[in-house]
Amino acid sequence: MTKLRAGLLALVLAVTAAWLGVMPSSAADSAPITRYDVDVVLDPDGVANVTLDFTMDFSVVRGRGPYILLPTLQEDGANPDENYVFDYSNIEVESPSGASAAVLLERDNDILSIRIGSENIWNESPQDYTVSYDVTGLIATDHPQSGLDEFNWDVIGRAWESDFSNISVSVTGPVAPEQVACFYGPDVTTPCEAELTGDTATYSLDSLSAGTTMQVVAGYPVGTFPGVEQEKARRVTLSNSFELTPGTGIVTGAGLIAAIAGLVAIRRRHARDDVYLGLTPGLTPTGGEQGRVGPKQGRFPVAVQFHPPKGATPGEIGTLMDTTADNIDVSATIVDLAVRGYLKIHSQSKSDFTLEALHRPGGRLEPYEDKLLADLFQGRTIRSSTELKKAKFAEVLPHARDGLYASVVQKGWFKGNPATAQMVPIVLGALAIGGGVLLTFIGASVGWGLIGIPLAVFGIGLMIMSGKFRKRTATGSAYLAQAKGFELYLRTAEKETLQFEEGEDIFSKYLPYAMVFGVADRWSKLFADLGAQGIYQADTSWYVGADLLHGYYFASAMNNLTHSMSSAMQAARVDGMSQSTGGSSGFSGFSGGGGFGGGGGGSW
């Protein structure tokens, strides 16, 4: 037999210290036991009637009384998947010397705690105590190595915090034992005194230091304890917590099927855009008709469109395309406002630019555009990129994004704020994952750790699918089709196929849309070539920077401008945030190494 695992005993000490409100760290913190007499009577049915009669010397260490820790489970070193089970009953305590014998019993995991004494009564002299109890599980019948019915017990476990002296143990069984043994020490292999007189085996030891085990063994003829078997319980380990059995396999498999079916059903019902049924993509009902609406089925064909959707700004189209109001949508809005005459952009270098407010040319601004201009200039007429990186501009991007979301909802392209709609499945998914982890943790204690996996898979699926909940309305889908058609035009148009409009500079007018579609480079180079050939001169008075006649430099400058705008406002956002914020092996006890039981204790 081997000793109790050191990790178990360390846990015992930590739990006990927390429970008692003290932390005994050495024998000097616990009153010594100057006399320890133990009497054990073994019944034929395997019950050990234990009586502890001892003296604890509180003149050395002042204390309220003793506490005793008894293990209810102990690892089988020969079979790591099982624990031995010890059952205690008929616990009685008294103090012949008149000390408080009040008892508090607590069970915590695999430990039974017996605390003796009263909170407000302190002892400063030696006190006598008698503790009796019955326990089962200490007898291994017909042991395969010794060929005996073995009573194998750690009478003192290594979790004791007290020093012992004058130790005597007597064990009386139904018949005389054939063999007795006693061991002690750090590895429980040093022999101690063991004698046999009639039906009683006696063991003695002069002293034992704290944290050291004493083991007593008595071997009886096979059949002395008829029908007695040591009770065992399945020990939950990492290997068997998630063991695949017919039961766990069926339940987990059924759960996974249900989770996948649920995700498919949710996607079909809540994560597909609405469209107008029976109408060509891009068209909406006319003449006051409502039109039939249903979920989108598959992809719709894209037809080239030479103009952006009517009444839709570049920022709104960018938000509609990917259901997200991001930095590029805000940058495109600033360029669009410059093209329309509300400001002028001065580009000094790759990362530096200046915005100049101009007199309003008239015309209607969307609420988010008006707010963006106010947030950028804040009563000034000039703003540099260096200034825009400061904390006072931290809300420029959030306000612009919120405004874009509000605008696309107001236009009827989404039923609700896309960002908010996405948060619902994210939150539900996180709750499902948490529930799955909790279910796994609970199930693992009985070997059913797999049953939490389906719920966690369902939660992960919801979170992955959350972007799909940014669901477009039928009107939003129609505008999306128009936007994709216009994107196709900007991506494929050549100088021979450009559709010029008299009196309008289509380069500047469409450039913000090219930015949100990701084709600003192509669009700029196309018109730079036209300018270099003298075919078409774009009006870029809204922009002061690279020469239009040098297509590569101009296109590169436009690309740098987009990134530098986003970087400046994101830097302000970051700056603003920073400012606001022991066991038996199954071997014979006659080889030493520790036995069953043991536990620990001390004074409190």
Residue from 115, 149, 151 nearest 131 by CA:
115
- Helix 314-322, helix 506-517: angle, nearest 10: 20
What pLDDT does residue 532 have? 79
Helix (H) or strand (E) holding 169: strand 164-172
Low-confidence ranges of the chain (pLDDT < 70): 1-28, 77-78, 80, 235-243, 350, 445-446, 502-503, 546-588, 592
- Sign of the dihedral through C-alpha 459, 461, 467, 473: negative
Are 589 and 150 in contact by the 8 Å Cβ rule? The answer is yes
What pLDDT does residue 8 have? 36
What is d(CA 48, CA 138) in angstroms, rounded to the nearest whole number? 8
Give this prediction's pTM: 0.54
What is d(CA 529, CA 551) in angstroms, rounded to the nearest whole number? 6
What pLDDT does residue 28 have? 59
What pLDDT does residue 7 have? 39
Using DSSP bridges, classify how beta strands 149-156 and 596-597 pair: parallel, antiparallel or unpaired: parallel
CA 348 to each of CA 114, 324, 355, 387, 555: distance values in angstroms, whole numbers, following the listed order: 80, 30, 11, 14, 15
Are 438 and 382 in contact by the 8 Å Cβ rule? The answer is no
Are 205 and 214 in contact by the 8 Å Cβ rule? The answer is yes
What pLDDT does residue 87 have? 92
Structure tokens at 9: 């005993």
What pLDDT does residue 24 have? 38
What pLDDT does residue 397 have? 87
> Which residues have CB under 8 Å from 253's CB, separation 6+?
none
What pLDDT does residue 283 have? 87
Residue from 50, 128, 117 nearest 89 by CA:
50
b (16+ CB within 10 A) / e for 526-553:
bbbebbeeeebebebebbebbebeebee
SS3 label, residue 477: helix
Residue 468's CB is within 10 A of a number of other CB atoms, namely 17
What pLDDT does residue 350 have? 67
What pLDDT does residue 9 have? 39
Q: What long-range pairs does 435-441 form, CB within 8 A, spacing at least 24?
A: 435/459
Are 560 and 353 in contact by the 8 Å Cβ rule? The answer is no
Are 509 and 339 in contact by the 8 Å Cβ rule? The answer is yes
- Helix 520-532, helix 474-492: angle, nearest 10: 40
What pLDDT does residue 215 have? 95
Using DSSP bridges, classify how beta strands 543-544 and 596-597 pair: parallel, antiparallel or unpaired: unpaired
Cα Rg of the chain, angstroms: 41
What pLDDT does residue 301 have? 81
What is d(CA 72, CA 89) in angstroms, rounded to the nearest whole number? 12
Using DSSP bridges, classify how beta strands 200-208 and 164-172 pair: parallel, antiparallel or unpaired: antiparallel
Residue from 392, 349, 404 nearest 516 by CA:
404
SS3 label, residue 98: coil
Are 244 and 175 in contact by the 8 Å Cβ rule? The answer is no
What pLDDT does residue 587 have? 62
Are 42 and 48 in contact by the 8 Å Cβ rule? The answer is yes
